Amino acid sequence: MNSEDEKFMRLALDLAKRGEGWVNPNPMVGAVIVKDGKIIGVGWHRRFGEKHAEVNAIEDAKRKGYDVRGATMYVTLEPCSHWGKQPPCADRIIKEGFKRVVVAMVDPNPLVAGKGIEKMWKAGIEVEVGLLEEEARRLNEIFIKYVTSKMPFVSIKLAMTLDGFIATETSSSQWITGEKARQRVQELRRGHMAIMVGAGTVLADNPRLNCRLKNCPEKVKVILDRSGRVANAIREGKKFRLFEDGRVIFFTERPELFEGIAEAYPITEPGEILRKLGELGIDSVLIEGGRIACGFLPFADKFYLFYGPKLFGNGIKPFECLKVQKASEAPVVRIESIERLGESFLVTAYPGGG
Ligand code: AOF
Ligand code: ZN
C-alpha cells in the first residue's frame, strides 16, 4: 500500500457519503477504478435496492470508453458474494478481469463476511484488505450495528445551555442554540432513518420532524405517547405538522385511540420499542426529545450534545434519571470531536471511556 492507494480510497469514501440517507438500511459504499495510475471510473451506491457501487463504477468506466481488464478497484466495503436485490459484485469483478482489488473493510453482513474476498482471491485477483478501515467503519457505523444485531443504531441529540439545561422550569426551550447549530441538526437527520420525540414535544412545539436539506429523503417519525395525548388533541381538532410527510409511528399504552389516525404499537419500554423499530426495518434513530433521552441511555450508541451560549440556572436536565452519587461511579463518554457552530458548539461522543 502506498500514498496513492490511500488517495484513491479517500475518494471512494467521499463518493460513498453521497448515498447518505438514501441507502439505509444498507451501507454507503463508494468505488474507484484506476488503470495505469489514472482514474477511469467512479461509482457509489445511490439508493436502497439499486445497483451497488462496484457495478456503477464499472459502468462509468465503460461509458467513458475504457477497458477495465487489468485495472485496480478501490472499494470501501468488501464486494458482496450473495444474491440479494442485486447480483454478487465479486463475480462481476472476476468476470471483468480486474487485476487487483483494495478493500477498506470486510462486510459485517453475515451473508458476505469474507466470502466475497475469498471468491476474488481464489480467482487469482490480488486482494488487499484494511486500507482506511477505521474511516470506513465510522462511515458505516449504523449499518454495522444493524446488520449484526437487527437493533437500530441509537443517537441521542440534545440542545443544552452552557450550564446543562434543555429547558427552563416553565418548559421554554426555543431557542437555546443558534441557526448554524440547527442547520447541523438537519444534517444529522439526513443520516438517520427515524426521528424520535415524546408527546410533550409534539404538543408544545408542533415540530415537523422532517429533513429540510436539498438532498434528503422522508423521515420516519416516532412519537412516544404513553397516554395518547396527541390522539386526543387530534380528536379535538388540533392539526400537527409532523403528519405533512413521511411515516408516523406511535408507541403508547392506548393504541385504540390512534385507530384511523396513525400506526401505533402497545409498547412503552425503551428496549422493546427499539426492537420493534428494528423489526420494521429501521436501522437508526435520532432521539431528539430531551425528556425521553434518559430512558434510552442504556441503548445509546452515540451522543450529539449541542451547547448554546445561555445560562438558565434552573430548569430541566436531560439525564436526571441517572442519579449519580459518586463522581467515580458516573458513566463516561469518549469525546470524538468538538465543532464550533456560530455561537454554539457541538460535542460528538461515544459511550464508554478510554
Ligand atoms: C449495497 N450497496 O454498494 C454494496 C452492498 O440486497 P442487495 O443485493 O442490495 O445487497 C445488500 C447487501 O450487499 C448489503 O447488506 C451489503 O452486505 C452488500 N454490499 N450493498 O447496498 C453496495 N456493495
Ligand atoms: Zn454488491
Tens digits of per-residue pLDDT, 270-302?
999 999 999 999 999 999 988 899 999 999 999
Of the bound ligands, which one is closest to the alpha carbon of residue 103? 1
Q: Whose CA is nearest to atom 21 of ligand 1?
A: 26
> Ligand 1, atom 18: nearest CA belongs to which residue?
80
For the CA of 86, the closest atom of ligand 1 is 8
Query: How confident is the model at residue 171, as a pLDDT?
Result: 86
Q: Give the whole-angstrom CA distance, residue 28 versus residue 17.
A: 6
pLDDT, average across residues 326-335? 95
Give me the percent of the chain exceeding a pLDDT of 70.
Answer: 99
Residue whose CA lies nearest to ligand 1 atom number 2:
52
Nearest CA to ligand 1 atom 4: 52
Ligand nearest to the CA of 29: 1
If you take atom 14 of ligand 1, which residue's CA is the nearest one? Answer: 26
| Residue of 52, 107, 140 best suited for mutating to test ligand 1, as the one with most atoms within 8 Å of CB | 52
Ligand 1 first shell, C-beta below 6 A: 23, 26-27, 29, 45, 49, 52-53, 77, 80, 84-86, 89, 107, 109, 112, 147
If pLDDT is split at 50, 70 and 90, which confidence band does 213 have?
very high
Output the CA 30–ligand 2 centroid distance in Å.
11
CA of 34 to the centre of ligand 2 (A): 19
Q: What's the complex ipTM?
A: 0.89
Q: Which of 4, 20, 54, 263 is catalytic?
A: 54
pLDDT of residue 57: 98
1 — pLDDT class (breaks 50, 70, 90): low
Q: Which residue has the cell 477495465?
A: 68
Q: Is the dihedral of CA 270, 274, 275, 279 positive or negative?
A: positive
Residue to probe by mutation, ligand 1, list 45, 48, 80, most atoms within 8 Å of CB: 80
Among the residue ranges 336-340, 342-346, 350-354, the one predicted with the least confidence is: 350-354
User: Is residue 354's pLDDT more than 60?
Assistant: no
- Ligand located closest to 24 CA: 1
> Residue 57: in which H helix or E strand, if any?
helix 53-63
Atom of ligand 1 nearest to the CA of 52: 3
Kindly state the average pLDDT of the residues 26-31: 98
Q: Which atom of ligand 1 is nearest to the CA of 147?
A: 15
54 is catalytic: yes
Identify the residue with better confidence: 291 or 44. 44
How far apart, in Å, are the Cα atoms of 47 and each of 52, 119, 183?
9, 26, 24
Residue nearest to atom 13 of ligand 1 (CA): 80
Closest atom of ligand 1 relative to the 44 alpha carbon: 3
Give the pLDDT confidence score for residue 174 in this predicted structure: 86
Residue 45 CA: which ligand 1 atom is closest?
A: 3
Residues 6+ apart with CB under 8 A from 222: 194, 195, 196, 197, 249, 250, 251, 273, 277, 285
CA 80 to ligand 1 center in whole angstroms: 7
Task: Answer whether residue 197 shows pLDDT above 80.
Answer: yes
Asked if residues 80 and 88 have their Cβ atoms less than 8 Å apart, the reply is: yes
Q: Stretch 91-118: mean pLDDT, rounded?
A: 96
